[in-house]
Structure 1
């Protein structure tokens, strides 16, 4: 199993859209994929389930909040009970061997974050336990059959996002190629490095700092390439030797906007040929990088 966290402490850069399409793309290639929604806004969850399905079927007992609520308890119930399978995507995948599952977000994840931070403040010795909870969940035997896990993080670097970093083999940083969006890349990198060092000081099982790479999203294309202003930003980031993906993801509200309402990501939906081609290229490129990461 390889775990990828899609993370950026800036919002509005296409994290959820990328996560949904990568997950569906891997599943279309025959993989068993698990998506984990760590954002209380639940955009990833409601990209696959209707609002009423989320409220009635998932919120009562099938969300990531229910896992975090167990921290420190003796509850040995399998985390696999939190997993749901989006029906409309599974219909699209029915002819193949792939599968896409999801652990939903909860509206109260912000409260969970606050409560966990308070616990850490009162008991600093629990640092490893509180920050390694998600890592422990994904290591459960019931999750051993998954090939890839994709984690959609909220636009912050709080305790829950740090759980995602501690659990991951690779960090994918979606970034719009403009000054404001790229300005925080170095800051995020420093925070990640500092957190991993602190985690290893407090944990009996240290982790490697996950590899991190930028993927440029919401790109405006002209004649098959990013417009000059965005190309200039991309070149500056590459010149700083920041790891980046060669594939870029275009800005297409007409293609991406309606997809969540239908519960099927663009990569499976058969609309927007250029966008679909880019997404498939991105799946291939990410797959290659994951294969090079030692188990």
Structure 2
């Protein structure tokens, strides 16, 4: 199983749209995919379930918050598998592919969980490895061995829960708008990830279970195209990032609110929905690139 985190500590860059479509695209190719929503805004969750379904069926007992709430208690679940839900609308479309797409939902109070865990860590620094390994250990549980890929939609911050995702990941995808403000945070994110991995391994103190910094690559999103290419101002930003040696995906995702905007309301990602022919084509090309990258990534 490969674990992929979609992460950027800047919001508004199309992170959730990317997660939903890459996950659905991999499932359409026969992969068994689990998506995990770690953002308290729950945009990924309500891209597959209606607000009322989320409120009545998931929020009471079946969100990732309930798994984190159990830390340090006798009732703590070792695996988050009991929280898995199946988005019905998507499963119908995937029924002939051999693949499927499952989800563990977010909770609106996840940010409070992040704050509480950070407070626990300040009071009990000896818990560093246990708290930061929580997701890594949970996803490695045999109860989740059926999945080929886990896709994690991270919140736009770099708190303790986001660090959990990094510690668990084999690959990081960094969706970024090709503009100055969006790309200026790439180096900052890279330094934070590097510092976290070093700190984590120091706490391991040679006891085994150390982690490597996951390979990461930028995916340019919300791109404005002209004659099939990004407009000049965005092309220059993309070229500057590539010139710095930052790994980037060749495929870019165009800005199309008319196509991407209504998709969550219907519970079906654009890549499966049959609308937006150009958008569907580039999403499939991106899924091919991600799939190739996963094949080259060590488990």
Inter-partner Cα distance in structure 2 for 1:76 and 1:186 = 37
**Over residues 61-84 of structure 1, what are the superposed CA-to-partner deviations in whole Å (9 max), with x where a residue is unaligned?**
110101111112233644211000
Partner of 2:217: 213
Q: TM-score, normalised by structure 2?
A: 0.97
Inter-partner Cα distance in structure 2 for 1:109 and 1:159 = 11
Partner of 1:182: 183
Partner of 1:163: 164
Inter-partner Cα distance in structure 1 for 2:251 and 2:271 = 15
Inter-partner Cα distance in structure 2 for 1:178 and 1:237 = 11
Partner of 1:14: 14
Inter-partner Cα distance in structure 2 for 1:61 and 1:34 = 19
**Over residues 78-102 of structure 1, what are the superposed CA-to-partner deviations in whole Å (9 max), with x where a residue is unaligned?**
4211000000000111122111000
Q: TM-score, normalised by structure 1?
A: 0.99
* Runs of 4+ displaced beyond 4 Å: none
Inter-partner Cα distance in structure 1 for 2:142 and 2:76 = 12
Inter-partner Cα distance in structure 2 for 1:17 and 1:266 = 9
Q: CA deviation at 1:44?
A: 0.2
Q: How many residues align?
A: 295
Inter-partner Cα distance in structure 2 for 1:280 and 1:10 = 25
Q: Map of 1:53-64 to 2, 5 A cutoff?
A: 53-64=53-64
Contact kept in structure 1, 2:33 and 2:147, CA below 8 Å: yes
Partner of 2:137: 136
Residue 152 of structure 2 aligns to a residue in which SS? Answer: strand
Inter-partner Cα distance in structure 2 for 1:200 and 1:64 = 26
Residue 264 of structure 1 aligns to a residue in which SS? Answer: coil
Inter-partner Cα distance in structure 1 for 2:20 and 2:97 = 18
**Over residues 170-214 of structure 1, what are the superposed CA-to-partner deviations in whole Å (9 max), with x where a residue is unaligned?**
110000000000001000000000000001111341111100100
Partner of 1:80: 81
Residue 150 of structure 1 aligns to a residue in which SS? Answer: strand
Inter-partner Cα distance in structure 1 for 2:293 and 2:118 = 34
**Over residues 203-254 of structure 1, what are the superposed CA-to-partner deviations in whole Å (9 max), with x where a residue is unaligned?**
3411111001000000000001100000000000000000000010000000
Q: What runs of 5+ residues in structure 1 fail to find an aligned partner?
A: none
Residue 100 of structure 1 aligns to a residue in which SS? Answer: strand
**Over residues 7-50 of structure 1, what are the superposed CA-to-partner deviations in whole Å (9 max), with x where a residue is unaligned?**
00000000000000000000000110000000000000000000
Inter-partner Cα distance in structure 1 for 2:74 and 2:165 = 23
Inter-partner Cα distance in structure 2 for 1:234 and 1:14 = 17
Q: What runs of 5+ residues in structure 2 fail to find an aligned partner?
A: none
Partner of 1:257: 261
Inter-partner Cα distance in structure 2 for 1:74 and 1:235 = 53
The question of 1:222 aligning with 2:226 is answered yes
Q: CA deviation at 1:60?
A: 1.0
Q: CA deviation at 1:256?
A: 0.1
Q: 1:214 to 1:206 in 2, by over 3 A?
A: same
**Over residues 93-131 of structure 1, what are the superposed CA-to-partner deviations in whole Å (9 max), with x where a residue is unaligned?**
112211100000001101101110110000001111111
Residue 175 of structure 2 aligns to a residue in which SS? Answer: strand
Partner of 1:114: 115
Inter-partner Cα distance in structure 1 for 2:47 and 2:114 = 23
